[in-house]
Amino acid sequence: MKINHCIKLSLNMLSFIEFMMFKYMVKSLIECIIVSRINRFVVNVKIDGKITQARITNTGRLYDLLIPGNKGYCIEGGMKTRYKLIGINVGLKNRVALIDTRLQEDVFYNAAQRKYFNWLNPYRIVKRYPKINNSRLDFQIKFNDKIGFIEMKSAVLLFDNFYGGYPDCPSIRGRRHILDIIRLHEKGYRCILLFSVAHPLARIFKPYSKGDPIIADLIEEAFKRGVEIYAFKPILRIDEKSIVVEDEDIPIVFR
């Protein structure tokens, strides 16, 4: 009886945790097989035995995910292509790596509007893609008369078995954005670097110095200068046809 009672309590606790997770519904998922990457924005996939093209919004290398033969998940609506590739199977039953950067941003935005992220309070998002000098950041935030900015980066790379990393390749644009955030912080704005750790097996965020050692150093330098750094974990759930924020504030290490 005691064992059954403990099991029941554990199941109830799991149900409660799942209830507390933010969920963002997606369109009908279409299963595919990765064939080859054509360029930064287009990949060949096989759907129902036929090879077709799908758009990808993630311009990282994704070398550990876009492997020929891997199972992927598309939705319809790829602008110049019929399909858009948004997820890659990583060997788990229902939890899939979310590679689509626009969906990662949309999930964060919608969750933030519902005050899901405690670390963001009492600020609220008031604008997407604000233009700062020659760059566009991801979000502008505000509390009373105080202004702030968030730059968000996709950390869907898994390395050393449990780290979610960014970047997976050199990025001049990424360097510029981080420098912009540092300069804005020094002018008195609240500034946040946010990483979307969208691989189901990742448990900690860590800058991936092998991808771009300059960016790895800049992230640590930004933190030392007072820029806030957070990471959250949005995962594609194929059984629910939703993206679930499994953790709003996962641990971060620099070295």
Backbone angles phi, psi at 105, to 5 degrees: -65, -45
Amino acid 20: pLDDT? 67
Which of these, 248, 216, 255, lies nearest to 230 by C-alpha position? 248
Say how far apart CA 83 and CA 73 lie, in whole Å: 10
Ranges of residues in the chain whose predicted pLDDT is under 50: 1-19
The full set of domains in the chain, from first to last, is 30-98 (2.40.50.580), 101-235+242-247 (3.40.1350.60)
Amino acid 208: pLDDT? 98
DSSP 250: -
The backbone region for 204, taken as left when phi is positive above 0, alpha when psi lies in -120 to 50, beta otherwise, is beta
Strands (E), the chain: 22-25, 30-37, 42-47, 50-55, 71-78, 81-88, 95-98, 124-128, 131-132, 135-136, 139-143, 146-154, 157-159, 163-166, 190-196, 204-207, 228-237, 242-247
